[in-house]
Protein backbone atom coordinates (compact mmCIF):
# COMPACT_ATOMS: atom_id res chain seq x y z
CA UNK A 1 0.00 0.00 0.00
CA UNK A 2 1.53 3.35 -0.98
CA UNK A 3 1.94 5.97 1.70
CA UNK A 4 0.79 9.53 1.09
CA UNK A 5 2.24 12.18 3.39
CA UNK A 6 0.13 15.34 3.54
CA UNK A 7 0.09 18.36 5.81
CA UNK A 8 -2.81 20.43 7.06
CA UNK A 9 -3.25 23.93 5.67
CA UNK A 10 -1.51 26.64 7.68
CA UNK A 11 -3.64 29.33 9.29
CA UNK A 12 -1.35 31.80 7.47
CA UNK A 13 -2.03 30.23 4.07
CA UNK A 14 -3.23 33.55 2.64
CA UNK A 15 0.34 34.87 3.10
CA UNK A 16 1.69 32.30 0.64
CA UNK A 17 4.41 33.04 -1.90
CA UNK A 18 3.02 34.12 -5.30
CA UNK A 19 5.21 34.22 -8.41
CA UNK A 20 3.33 33.86 -11.70
CA UNK A 21 -0.31 34.67 -10.92
CA UNK A 22 -2.09 37.63 -9.38
CA UNK A 23 -2.81 37.41 -5.67
CA UNK A 24 -6.53 36.96 -4.96
CA UNK A 25 -8.33 36.51 -1.61
CA UNK A 26 -8.10 33.00 -0.18
CA UNK A 27 -10.82 31.49 2.00
CA UNK A 28 -8.97 29.42 4.58
CA UNK A 29 -11.93 27.24 5.50
CA UNK A 30 -12.62 26.37 1.87
CA UNK A 31 -8.94 25.60 1.33
CA UNK A 32 -8.95 23.29 4.34
CA UNK A 33 -12.12 21.56 3.18
CA UNK A 34 -10.67 21.00 -0.27
CA UNK A 35 -7.47 19.64 1.21
CA UNK A 36 -9.44 17.25 3.42
CA UNK A 37 -11.33 15.96 0.39
CA UNK A 38 -8.05 15.57 -1.49
CA UNK A 39 -6.68 13.42 1.36
CA UNK A 40 -9.86 11.34 1.40
CA UNK A 41 -9.52 10.80 -2.34
CA UNK A 42 -5.99 9.45 -1.91
CA UNK A 43 -7.24 7.12 0.82
CA UNK A 44 -10.08 5.92 -1.40
CA UNK A 45 -7.52 5.10 -4.09
CA UNK A 46 -5.61 2.84 -1.72
CA UNK A 47 -3.10 5.13 -0.02
CA UNK A 48 -2.31 5.09 3.66
CA UNK A 49 -2.54 8.80 4.37
CA UNK A 50 -0.27 10.26 7.03
CA UNK A 51 -1.45 13.80 7.70
CA UNK A 52 1.05 16.02 9.44
CA UNK A 53 -0.23 18.83 11.68
CA UNK A 54 -0.22 22.35 10.32
CA UNK A 55 2.90 24.46 10.50
CA UNK A 56 1.17 27.61 11.69
CA UNK A 57 4.09 29.92 10.91
CA UNK A 58 4.81 28.51 7.42
CA UNK A 59 2.16 29.67 4.93
CA UNK A 60 3.10 27.39 2.02
CA UNK A 61 3.76 24.26 4.05
CA UNK A 62 0.70 22.38 2.77
CA UNK A 63 2.67 21.92 -0.46
CA UNK A 64 4.81 19.09 0.86
CA UNK A 65 5.92 17.96 -2.59
CA UNK A 66 8.46 20.78 -2.66
CA UNK A 67 10.35 19.47 0.37
CA UNK A 68 11.51 16.08 -0.93
CA UNK A 69 11.92 13.79 -3.92
CA UNK A 70 11.04 10.22 -2.94
CA UNK A 71 12.60 7.38 -4.91
CA UNK A 72 12.56 3.61 -4.28
CA UNK A 73 16.15 3.65 -3.00
CA UNK A 74 16.17 6.84 -0.93
CA UNK A 75 14.63 10.30 -0.56
CA UNK A 76 16.31 13.57 -1.43
CA UNK A 77 15.44 16.35 1.01
CA UNK A 78 15.35 19.56 -0.96
CA UNK A 79 16.37 23.10 -0.11
CA UNK A 80 13.37 25.19 -1.21
CA UNK A 81 14.18 28.23 -3.30
CA UNK A 82 12.03 30.67 -1.32
CA UNK A 83 13.70 31.51 1.99
CA UNK A 84 10.32 31.52 3.74
CA UNK A 85 9.95 27.84 2.84
CA UNK A 86 13.34 26.48 3.88
CA UNK A 87 12.17 25.55 7.43
CA UNK A 88 9.49 23.23 5.98
CA UNK A 89 11.97 20.41 5.47
CA UNK A 90 12.66 19.70 9.14
CA UNK A 91 9.32 18.03 9.90
CA UNK A 92 9.45 16.19 6.56
CA UNK A 93 12.80 14.68 7.55
CA UNK A 94 11.13 13.26 10.64
CA UNK A 95 8.16 11.99 8.63
CA UNK A 96 10.23 10.30 5.91
CA UNK A 97 13.09 8.88 7.95
CA UNK A 98 11.22 5.68 8.98
CA UNK A 99 10.68 4.81 5.31
CA UNK A 100 13.77 5.91 3.38
CA UNK A 101 17.44 6.70 3.76
CA UNK A 102 17.78 10.45 3.36
CA UNK A 103 20.24 12.76 1.59
CA UNK A 104 20.03 16.55 1.55
CA UNK A 105 20.48 19.28 -1.01
CA UNK A 106 22.89 21.77 0.55
CA UNK A 107 23.68 25.48 0.03
CA UNK A 108 24.31 27.15 -2.33
CA UNK A 109 21.95 24.82 -4.15
CA UNK A 110 18.19 25.40 -4.18
CA UNK A 111 15.53 22.94 -5.27
CA UNK A 112 11.74 22.70 -5.10
CA UNK A 113 10.30 19.23 -5.54
CA UNK A 114 7.68 20.66 -7.89
CA UNK A 115 10.48 21.15 -10.42
CA UNK A 116 11.45 17.47 -10.36
CA UNK A 117 9.78 15.04 -12.76
CA UNK A 118 10.87 11.44 -12.19
CA UNK A 119 10.25 9.11 -15.13
CA UNK A 120 11.84 5.78 -14.32
CA UNK A 121 15.58 6.32 -14.13
CA UNK A 122 15.35 9.66 -15.91
CA UNK A 123 14.89 12.73 -13.77
CA UNK A 124 13.97 15.97 -15.50
CA UNK A 125 14.59 19.04 -13.35
CA UNK A 126 13.19 22.43 -14.25
CA UNK A 127 15.61 25.33 -13.98
CA UNK A 128 13.50 27.98 -12.34
CA UNK A 129 13.42 30.79 -9.79
CA UNK A 130 13.34 28.02 -7.16
CA UNK A 131 15.76 25.41 -8.55
CA UNK A 132 19.31 25.88 -9.82
CA UNK A 133 21.97 23.85 -11.60
CA UNK A 134 23.93 23.33 -8.38
CA UNK A 135 20.99 21.32 -7.00
CA UNK A 136 20.87 19.16 -10.12
CA UNK A 137 24.58 18.48 -9.80
CA UNK A 138 24.17 17.44 -6.17
CA UNK A 139 21.21 15.21 -7.02
CA UNK A 140 23.18 13.51 -9.79
CA UNK A 141 26.07 12.89 -7.41
CA UNK A 142 23.74 11.26 -4.88
CA UNK A 143 21.83 9.15 -7.39
CA UNK A 144 24.32 8.06 -10.06
CA UNK A 145 25.16 4.87 -8.18
CA UNK A 146 21.51 3.83 -8.54
CA UNK A 147 21.49 4.41 -12.29
CA UNK A 148 19.58 7.70 -12.38
CA UNK A 149 20.38 10.51 -14.79
CA UNK A 150 19.26 14.01 -13.76
CA UNK A 151 18.84 16.51 -16.59
CA UNK A 152 18.05 20.21 -16.28
CA UNK A 153 15.51 21.67 -18.69
CA UNK A 154 14.23 25.16 -19.37
CA UNK A 155 10.58 26.16 -19.14
CA UNK A 156 8.65 29.38 -18.66
CA UNK A 157 5.54 31.26 -17.59
CA UNK A 158 4.78 29.09 -14.54
CA UNK A 159 6.25 28.43 -11.11
CA UNK A 160 7.36 24.80 -11.41
CA UNK A 161 8.16 22.32 -14.16
CA UNK A 162 5.26 20.12 -13.04
CA UNK A 163 2.88 22.97 -13.79
CA UNK A 164 3.91 22.42 -17.42
CA UNK A 165 4.30 18.63 -17.67
CA UNK A 166 3.55 15.57 -15.52
CA UNK A 167 3.53 11.82 -15.97
CA UNK A 168 0.21 10.10 -16.62
CA UNK A 169 1.82 6.66 -16.62
CA UNK A 170 5.26 5.21 -17.39
CA UNK A 171 4.92 6.01 -21.08
CA UNK A 172 2.60 9.01 -21.28
CA UNK A 173 2.93 12.67 -20.32
CA UNK A 174 0.37 15.46 -19.99
CA UNK A 175 1.94 18.65 -21.34
CA UNK A 176 1.42 22.35 -21.96
CA UNK A 177 3.73 22.95 -24.92
CA UNK A 178 3.43 26.71 -24.52
CA UNK A 179 5.32 26.43 -21.24
CA UNK A 180 7.83 23.66 -21.96
CA UNK A 181 9.27 22.23 -25.15
CA UNK A 182 8.32 18.68 -26.02
CA UNK A 183 11.79 17.97 -27.44
CA UNK A 184 13.27 16.47 -24.21
CA UNK A 185 10.37 14.00 -24.09
CA UNK A 186 10.67 12.39 -27.51
CA UNK A 187 10.42 8.85 -26.11
CA UNK A 188 7.01 9.44 -24.53
CA UNK A 189 3.45 9.59 -25.73
CA UNK A 190 2.22 13.16 -25.22
CA UNK A 191 -1.27 14.35 -24.39
CA UNK A 192 -1.71 18.05 -25.02
CA UNK A 193 -3.86 19.98 -22.58
CA UNK A 194 -6.85 21.79 -24.01
CA UNK A 195 -5.47 25.23 -24.96
CA UNK A 196 -8.21 26.99 -23.00
CA UNK A 197 -7.07 25.29 -19.74
CA UNK A 198 -3.61 26.73 -19.20
CA UNK A 199 -2.92 25.09 -15.83
CA UNK A 200 -4.24 21.62 -16.73
CA UNK A 201 -0.91 19.81 -17.18
CA UNK A 202 -0.60 18.80 -13.52
CA UNK A 203 -2.00 15.35 -12.69
CA UNK A 204 -1.30 12.68 -10.08
CA UNK A 205 -1.47 8.97 -11.01
CA UNK A 206 -2.47 6.87 -8.00
CA UNK A 207 -3.91 3.38 -7.69
CA UNK A 208 -4.75 2.95 -11.36
CA UNK A 209 -6.47 6.33 -11.58
CA UNK A 210 -5.49 9.91 -12.38
CA UNK A 211 -6.26 12.50 -9.70
CA UNK A 212 -7.10 15.65 -11.61
CA UNK A 213 -8.55 19.11 -10.89
CA UNK A 214 -12.29 19.36 -11.51
CA UNK A 215 -11.79 22.79 -13.11
CA UNK A 216 -10.34 21.37 -16.33
CA UNK A 217 -13.20 19.43 -17.92
CA UNK A 218 -11.91 19.59 -21.50
CA UNK A 219 -8.50 18.12 -20.65
CA UNK A 220 -10.31 15.62 -18.40
CA UNK A 221 -12.19 14.39 -21.47
CA UNK A 222 -8.91 14.07 -23.38
CA UNK A 223 -7.51 11.83 -20.66
CA UNK A 224 -10.61 9.67 -20.60
CA UNK A 225 -10.56 9.41 -24.39
CA UNK A 226 -7.10 7.86 -24.07
CA UNK A 227 -8.47 5.23 -21.68
CA UNK A 228 -7.44 6.70 -18.34
CA UNK A 229 -9.68 6.58 -15.29
CA UNK A 230 -9.93 10.14 -13.96
CA UNK A 231 -10.92 11.04 -10.39
CA UNK A 232 -11.53 14.75 -9.95
CA UNK A 233 -10.93 16.95 -6.93
CA UNK A 234 -11.72 20.62 -6.40
CA UNK A 235 -8.45 22.40 -5.63
CA UNK A 236 -9.56 25.85 -6.78
CA UNK A 237 -8.73 27.56 -3.47
CA UNK A 238 -5.34 25.84 -3.26
CA UNK A 239 -4.65 26.94 -6.84
CA UNK A 240 -4.81 30.57 -5.69
CA UNK A 241 -1.46 29.81 -4.01
CA UNK A 242 -0.08 28.22 -7.21
CA UNK A 243 -0.89 24.77 -5.86
CA UNK A 244 -2.07 21.72 -7.80
CA UNK A 245 -2.72 18.01 -7.26
CA UNK A 246 0.87 16.81 -7.11
CA UNK A 247 1.87 19.60 -4.71
CA UNK A 248 -0.14 18.45 -1.71
CA UNK A 249 1.37 15.01 -1.11
CA UNK A 250 4.58 13.02 -1.00
CA UNK A 251 3.94 9.52 -2.31
CA UNK A 252 6.07 6.74 -0.80
CA UNK A 253 5.59 3.54 -2.79
CA UNK A 254 6.00 0.13 -1.21
31-41, pLDDT tens digit by residue? Answer: 999 999 999 99
CA atoms of 11 and 206, how far apart (whole Å): 28
162-172, pLDDT tens digit by residue? Answer: 999 999 999 99
Confidence band of 199 (pLDDT split at 50, 70, 90): very high
| Residue 55: pLDDT over 90 | yes
Confidence band of 77 (pLDDT split at 50, 70, 90): very high
Helix (H) / strand (E) element for 102: namely strand 102-104
Contact at 8 Å (CB) between 167 and 144? no
- In this predicted structure, what is the pLDDT of residue 20? 83
CA atoms of 43 and 206, how far apart (whole Å): 10
Contact at 8 Å (CB) between 125 and 153? yes
- In this predicted structure, what is the pLDDT of residue 254? 80
User: pTM to 2 decimals?
Assistant: 0.97
User: What is the dotted CATH code of the domain comprising 3-252?
Assistant: 3.75.10.10
- In this predicted structure, what is the pLDDT of residue 5? 98
104-156, pLDDT tens digit by residue? Answer: 999 999 999 999 999 999 999 999 999 999 999 999 999 999 999 999 999 99
What is the set of active-site residues?
Answer: 160, 247
- In this predicted structure, what is the pLDDT of residue 128? 95
- In this predicted structure, what is the pLDDT of residue 19? 87
CA atoms of 48 and 1, how far apart (whole Å): 7
Indicate the DSSP class of residue 114. Answer: G
Give the least confident one: 16-20, 193-197, 228-232.
16-20
Share of the chain above pLDDT 90, in %: 97
- In this predicted structure, what is the pLDDT of residue 189? 98
| Residue 21: pLDDT over 90 | no
Query: What average pLDDT does this structure show over 16-43?
Result: 95
CA atoms of 211 and 234, how far apart (whole Å): 10
Amino acid sequence: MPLAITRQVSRRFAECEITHIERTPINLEIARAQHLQYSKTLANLGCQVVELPEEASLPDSVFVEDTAVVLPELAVITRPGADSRKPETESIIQALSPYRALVRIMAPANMDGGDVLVLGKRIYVGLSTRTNQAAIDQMQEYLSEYGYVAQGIEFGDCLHLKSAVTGVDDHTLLINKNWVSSSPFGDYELIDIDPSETFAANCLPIGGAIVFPSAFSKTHKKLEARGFKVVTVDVSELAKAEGAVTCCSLIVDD
